[in-house]
Amino acid sequence: MAEHEVSHGDIYHKLGALEGKLDAVIASVGEKRTDLGEAFRRINALEQGLAKWAGIALVASIIIPLVVSAAAPRIHFPSASPSQVRP
């Protein structure tokens, strides 16, 4: 069986290749972190807008019935019997 000799040059070559791959992974993680930060920023803006509109809808759902209830006795809808309706 032939023994395979490993030289210092082979080790340095493999370490250099590994270092290059590790640098690529680190750069990729940095890009993903930036993308994730942007996605969270956009989600936060959407949530804030949604909360604003939900608050407006809540206030409107309270105020509109109160206004209608207060105005209903003052609104006069003339009623006519069927015999009084003119064609």
| pLDDT value of residue 20 | 95
Mark the ranges of the chain whose per-residue pLDDT is less than 50. Answer: 1
pLDDT at 81: 63
CA 81, CA 87: separation in Å to the nearest integer? 13
Three-state DSSP class for 4?
coil
What is the model's pLDDT at position 66? 92
What pLDDT sits at residue 55? 96
pLDDT at 72: 81
Domain boundaries, the chain: 30-68
Q: How far apart are CA 75 and CA 67, in angstroms?
A: 12
